[in-house]
Copies of this chain bind each other. A is one copy, B any other.
Amino acid sequence: MSLPDNFYIRRVEERDFEQVTETLKVLTTVGTIARASFSKLLKYWNEATVWDENNDKQIMQYNPIVIVDRRTESIAATGNILIERKIIHELGLCGHIEDIAVNSKYQGQGLGKLLIDQLVAIGFGYGCYKIILDCDEKNVKFYKKCGFGNAGVEMQIRK
């Protein structure tokens, strides 16, 4: 399935502030964020690159994207892939998919899978030897449909 005509995908922009923070609330606590701070974060993300000595193409470290409904310019979904340079696997690149959220009004239309497909294409396009993500047990079936397989256990510690 490809993206329906009435949607397009692009990087997150400053004008997305309200809609992206709202969309992320389906996932977890977002809290109070100043618009100016959001803009500074995007500037940081747009300038941060991964060290890459052999390649002319620029590897963006953070790839926060949105799926936009062109009829209304509404944000339907958002997600990010962070590119990490490692020592292992011959100084290999590992992609980390983070903070996937589909706006509740747009759920059930297959946009989540299209978002993941796009993030995976970005990661493999940069040369990642693997792309990983952590999810709840209830979402394992969805990620298997996206081509992912079980890899391990996510552990966490909080302050």
- Measured CB to CB, the residues of A under 8 A from B are 20-21, 24, 27-33, 37-38, 40-41, 43-44, 48, 50-51, 53, 64, 82, 84-91, 96, 98-99, 120, 124, 128-137, 140, 143-144, 146-159
Contact = CB atoms under 8 A, between A and B. Distances in A.
B154 A153 contact: yes
Number of identical protomers: 2
A29, A37, A130, A155 — most chain B CB neighbours (10 Å): A155
B129 A159 contact: yes
A98 B152 CA distance: 13
20 contacts: A21-B87, A24-B88, A29-B89, A30-B87, A30-B89, A33-B91, A37-B53, A37-B91, A40-B51, A84-B96, A130-B157, A131-B156, A132-B155, A134-B134, A134-B151, A135-B153, A136-B152, A136-B153, A137-B152, A150-B154
Pairs A-B, 6 closest by C-beta atoms = A44-B51, A31-B90, A151-B156, A148-B155, A152-B154, A151-B154
